[in-house]
Structure 1
C-alpha cells in the first residue's frame, strides 16, 4: 500500500488516517494491497515526474503520484486489455459486471473522507496511441449503492474518456445496490454517499489523470441517472467548478420526499390480495387501459400506447368503478380509491407540496417493479438505517412523523435532498446541464424533474430563454426509469442506448466545447430493442417548455412528423393546476 498525505499535515493527520483505514468501511479494500505493484512506499512518496511529462507505466505512475490536501492510499495499478472481466477487489460479487472494451490502466485508490470513513475509487486511463480523447468523465452510484457504476465506466471509457467511479463511501451487500445497512449509526457514511465521496473521487481522479498523461483533462464531465442524477444535480449545486458539463437523468432529487412518496405507495396499495384496497397485475391492466383511453389519442392525436405529455393527463378514476352487477373489467370502490390515491400528490399537514403524483401511463410497469407491489428495499433501509438508526423500523408504520424526521436530518445527511434551485454559481462559471426524464418512469415521477426546472426558473428570475443558456430539460415519452420502454428511448444515455441517432454524451460535449446546444433529443426505438433488427420508430423529444406535437398526418413513427410547440402556460404550477408542481 502506498500512503500519501499533504506535507503540511503529515504528522497528526497521517496518524489519524491510519486509524481511519483500520476502522473505515473500505478496510476490506486495504487487503487488496497484496496485489499492488511492488514499488516501495518510500519511492512512491517521491514525486519524480516533472511537470507536463507523461509517465510510462504503473510503477512510474505510482512513484510520481501525490495528492495535495487529500489523504489517499494507492491500492493498485494495473494495465488491462480489452475484454477483461471486471470484479470489485475484496468487494461484494453483485458489484461485478461486464468487461472493458478498450485497453486501459486501472488505478484503485482508498480516499480518506473523515475520521470514520473512506471511499474506494477507480480511475480508468485509456492507453494506446490516441486512445484518450483529452476529456474526463465522472460516473455515479445507483440507488443506495455501494458499487462503482461499471456499466457507465465501460461505456464512457469506450468513447475515449478517462473515467472515475467509486463505491459511494461504503460497500454494497445486497442485490441492486439498495442495501444501506452500513448507514446504521454511522452518519459519516451517509454524508459520503450524499455528496462527499463523489467530490473526493473527482479531486483525486483528476490528480491521477494529470500525473499519468502529464496534463490535466481539457474538459470535465459527469453522467448519472436515478440517484446518480441526484448526485449530478448536487454537484452542480455544491461544486460548480468540478465539471464543465453534466448529464442528470431521472434524478432522485428532493430525495427525502421521494422516499416518503415511495414508501407511501406501500401504505396506499396494501401488502397483498388479502387487503381490499390491493390491485393485482390484471387490475392494473384495467387501470392502464383506461388511462390510455382518456389521455393517449385524445391528448396527442396518436393511439400508440404512448402519452406524449403525461403532465396534462387529468385522469378520472371514477370510470373504473363497477356499476350495479358489473364484475368484469372494473374495480371495487376500495380499489378505485387506491387508484385515486396513487395518482395524487403528497402534501404536508399545511397543504404544501411534498412530492408530485405518479405519472399517468407508468402505472402498469410500476405494478411489476415494486412501486405498486410490496415494499421497496431502499425505503426500509433509508428510514431504518439512515433516518431513525433503527433496523427494526416497519414500512407499514410510515407516517407524517417519519416525513418530518427525514426533513430534520437533511442537513445532518449532507443536504441529501439535492433540491437547491439556485444554480447562479454554476451559470456564472459558464457550465452546462442537460436533464432528462422518462415520462413512463415508474420509480421516480418525471413531474419532479419538471418541478425542479420550474423552481430554478422562479428562484433565479429567468424565463426559458435565460435557462436555455445553461440548463436544458428533455421529457422522454414512453421511456421507463433511465432506459428502456415502449417509446423512442435510446439516445446514448448508457451503453445499451448508443446506437440511435442522438447521443446525449456528445450533445453535452458539443454544447460545452462548441456552443452547440441541443434543441431536441432524438430517441430511437429498435425492433425488439435490438439494433441489428432495425429501427421501429424515432421521436424528436423537445426541450421543455416545448411539447412534442404530432403534425396531424403521416407515419407517427417518423420523427419528422412531429414538431416542437411552446407550452403557453408552462410556468403555472399552483394548487388548481394539473399537475401541481409548486
Structure 2
C-alpha cells in the first residue's frame, strides 16, 4: 500500500529515528521539499570531442526493441496502482519493501523514450526500491532542453541554470543519520539514444550545501546520467560557501565529508538501473577543489563506487589546508594600518621579482608563466628597499611577510603540515585567494565546524591545528589524506589528478605531495603509479579554471571548448586502456573561443616536466616535450620545496 503523508509528517519521520530529533536539520530537510523560484541560465554547447567519442562507442548502445521489452515487463508487473491526489503530497518509503510514490500533481507531463525501461515518472516512482537505504522520492519531472531549473528553497541559494538536453529529473531525500539527511538530484537523459550508458557523480564546492548544477548541466549534455547532492546541508546565504549548519550537529559534518556523497551514488545508481532497465556500463566522478578532495576520499574509502575519477585542485589534507589558509591572514595582517601588510601594488612588485627569478631563467620562455614552480627557490631579500630608496621595493617588515608567505607550515615539533604557496600565484591570491583578507570558509570551519562561535581568525594558532587533527576521525576523516590506494588499484580503477600551478586558494604543491606519499607508502615508482594514478601539473592555471596559461581541457563547462578533454581522457583510459601521457590545454584569446586560440600546451604527467625545446613558437604545444625529473622522489629539509 502506498501511504501519503504531509510535509510535516515526512520531516517528523525522518528526524525522529531512534527517538531522536534535530530541529535545525528538520528545518533544513523541510526546505528541500518546498517549491522555489527559477535561477539564471547557463547556456553552452557540449564538447564535440566527447560527442564524437560517445557516438562511436558501442559499449553503451541500447536497442529500441530491448528497451521496449524491458519497459513492457516492468510496467505490466506493477501490482500497486499509481496513487493520485489533487493535494501537494509526498509518498514515504521507510524500507525497501515499500515502493516510494508521489502525487501526479508533482510530476510534469511524461514522455516516453525507447532508451527507457519505464514509460514515465509515475511508473518510475512506482517501480523504485532502495535496499538498505531510507529514501523518499520528493519529485519527478520530464523537462526539455533549454528549461531553466526551478530550485527548492534550500538549494535556491545556489547557482541554477538551464539544462542543455531533454532529461528526467528525479529528486530524493535520503536519511543519513538520526540527525541528518541528504537532498539528491538524479538526471536521466531522455529521447532516442540520449543516454550514453554511463554514470557521472558530481561534487560540492568549498563548504557549500549546493549540488554542482553547472557540472550536472555540462555532463548531462554529454549523455551521462548524473547525480548531484547538497552534501547533507543547504546553503544559508546565496552562493555562500558557508557551514552554519555544521554548528552543534556533527552528523552534518560527516555527511558533507563523505557520507552524503556515497549515499547519493548508491541511490542514484538504483534510479538509473530502474529507469533504463540496466545499470550504467561505467561509473565516473568529476570533482574540483573540495570536490577534488571528495573524489580522492571516494577512491580511499569506496574504491568500488567508480571506475574512473577526476580529482582537480584538491583540498585533501583538508585540516592542514584550512590551517594554512587561515595562517595567511595572521601573516599578512588585515590592512595598511599593519606594518607587515602588502597592498595590491606591493604584490605587483613581488610578482615581477618572482618572474624575474623563476620564469625565463628556469623554463626558457619569458611569458609570465612559471612552468614548474616547485623548483623556484625564490629569494625575497632583493625586494627590500636600499637606503634612501622608496619606490619599487618593500620595507623590511613587508619583505619578512613575503618570506613567511612562501614558507611551509610546520607543527610545534617541526613536522611538515602543509606546503608553501606556489611562487607565481601570489598576485592573483592577493585579490582572489588566500592573501585577500579573512577567508570566510576558514572562519566557518573553525567556528561552526568546531562549535566555537567566538572564534577569532586573527588568533589562529597551533592550538587550532592540533584540535583539527584530533577531531579528524570525528569529522568523518575529512583530511582525505590516506595514501594507501591499494584497494583502488586492485579493483582496476583509474584516477586522474590535476592542479593549476597558479592556484591562489590551494597550494598546488599539496597535490604533488599526495602523489609522492602514495608512491612512498605503496612502494611504487612512477611506472607502477602510472597503472592507476596520473597527476598533471597545469602551468598558468588558477583554481580549477581560468588563468594566463593553457587552462581549458574540458574539466568544467567553462573549459569545454579546448582541444583536449579530461573526461574523454578518463573514459579512454577506463574503457580502452589508453592512458593519457599529457593533458592538452588551450588558452583562447581573452578566454573567448570565438576569438581563436592564443596558445596550447601539452601538460606532462608528473614526474615528467613540460620542457621548452629552446626554439620555435612557445605558444605551439609541439615545441614542448616531457622530460623525466630524475630526483622526483627526493624530499627533506634542504629540498625546495620540502614535500614529504
Short-chain TM bin: over 0.9
SS at match of 2:519: helix
- In the other structure, the counterpart of 2:593 is 531
- In the other structure, the counterpart of 2:464 is 402
- In the other structure, the counterpart of 1:263 is 326
What's the CA shift for 1:31? 3.9
What's the CA shift for 1:93? 3.4
Write out aligned runs for 1:142-541 (5 A): 142-387=205-450, 389-541=451-603
* Native 8 Å contact 1:170 1:189 kept in 2: yes
- 1:485-542: CA deviation from partner (whole Å, max 9, x where unpaired): 0000000000110111110001000100000000000000000000011100000000
SS at match of 2:31: helix
SS at match of 2:283: strand
SS at match of 2:169: strand
Q: Which moved more, 1:15-24 or 1:557-566?
A: 15-24
Which whole-Å CA distance do the structure 1 matches of 2:312 and 2:489 have between them?
19
Which whole-Å CA distance do the structure 1 matches of 2:551 and 2:35 have between them?
40
Going from structure 1 to structure 2, the CA distance change for 1:280 and 1:41 (only over 3 Å counts) comes to closer
Q: Among residues 131, 134, 145, which one is paired with 1:71 in the alignment?
A: 134
Aligned: 1:136 with 2:139: no
Write out aligned runs for 1:522-561 (5 A): 522-561=584-623
- In the other structure, the counterpart of 1:86 is 149
Which whole-Å CA distance do the structure 2 matches of 1:289 and 1:367 have between them?
14
Going from structure 1 to structure 2, the CA distance change for 1:258 and 1:2 (only over 3 Å counts) comes to farther
Aligned: 1:118 with 2:181: yes
What's the CA shift for 1:91? 1.7
Which whole-Å CA distance do the structure 1 matches of 2:19 and 2:543 have between them?
41
What's the CA shift for 1:88? 2.2
SS at match of 1:248: strand
* RMSD (CA atoms): 2.3
* Native 8 Å contact 2:218 2:556 kept in 1: yes
* Native 8 Å contact 2:116 2:190 kept in 1: no
Q: How many residues align?
A: 571
- In the other structure, the counterpart of 1:45 is 98
Q: Which moved more, 1:561-570 or 1:96-105?
A: 96-105
Which whole-Å CA distance do the structure 1 matches of 2:434 and 2:336 have between them?
16
What's the CA shift for 1:177? 3.5
What's the CA shift for 1:70? 0.1
* Native 8 Å contact 1:457 1:467 kept in 2: yes
Which whole-Å CA distance do the structure 2 matches of 1:19 and 1:96 have between them?
33
What's the CA shift for 1:339? 0.1
Which whole-Å CA distance do the structure 2 matches of 1:94 and 1:525 have between them?
32
* Native 8 Å contact 2:90 2:138 kept in 1: no
What's the CA shift for 1:174? 2.3
SS at match of 1:458: helix
Which whole-Å CA distance do the structure 1 matches of 2:512 and 2:333 have between them?
29
- 1:411-447: CA deviation from partner (whole Å, max 9, x where unpaired): 0000000000000000000000000000000000110
What's the CA shift for 1:574? 1.0
Which whole-Å CA distance do the structure 1 matches of 2:19 and 2:168 have between them?
27
Which whole-Å CA distance do the structure 2 matches of 1:575 and 1:413 have between them?
31
SS at match of 1:120: strand
Which whole-Å CA distance do the structure 2 matches of 1:302 and 1:37 have between them?
64
Unaligned runs of 5+ in 1: 5-11
Going from structure 1 to structure 2, the CA distance change for 1:65 and 1:361 (only over 3 Å counts) comes to same
- 1:421-480: CA deviation from partner (whole Å, max 9, x where unpaired): 000000000000000000000000110000000000000000000000000000000000
- 1:123-161: CA deviation from partner (whole Å, max 9, x where unpaired): 000000000000000000000000000000000001000
* Native 8 Å contact 1:87 1:95 kept in 2: no
Which whole-Å CA distance do the structure 2 matches of 1:53 and 1:247 have between them?
28
Which whole-Å CA distance do the structure 1 matches of 2:31 and 2:154 have between them?
7
SS at match of 1:209: helix
Which whole-Å CA distance do the structure 1 matches of 2:362 and 2:212 have between them?
38
SS at match of 2:390: coil
Which whole-Å CA distance do the structure 1 matches of 2:15 and 2:179 have between them?
14
Going from structure 1 to structure 2, the CA distance change for 1:17 and 1:481 (only over 3 Å counts) comes to farther
- In the other structure, the counterpart of 2:17 is 16
What's the CA shift for 1:390? 1.4
Going from structure 1 to structure 2, the CA distance change for 1:477 and 1:269 (only over 3 Å counts) comes to same
Which whole-Å CA distance do the structure 1 matches of 2:374 and 2:87 have between them?
53
SS at match of 1:465: helix
Q: Which moved more, 1:350-359 or 1:23-32?
A: 23-32
Going from structure 1 to structure 2, the CA distance change for 1:490 and 1:277 (only over 3 Å counts) comes to same
- 1:87-122: CA deviation from partner (whole Å, max 9, x where unpaired): 321225331321100000000000000000000000
What's the CA shift for 1:16? 1.9
Q: Among residues 24, 29, 32, which one is paired with 1:29 in the alignment?
A: 32
Which whole-Å CA distance do the structure 2 matches of 1:241 and 1:46 have between them?
27
SS at match of 1:453: helix
Which whole-Å CA distance do the structure 1 matches of 2:488 and 2:419 have between them?
26
User: Normalised by the size of structure 2, how large is the TM-score?
Assistant: 0.86
SS at match of 1:386: coil
What's the CA shift for 1:357? 0.2
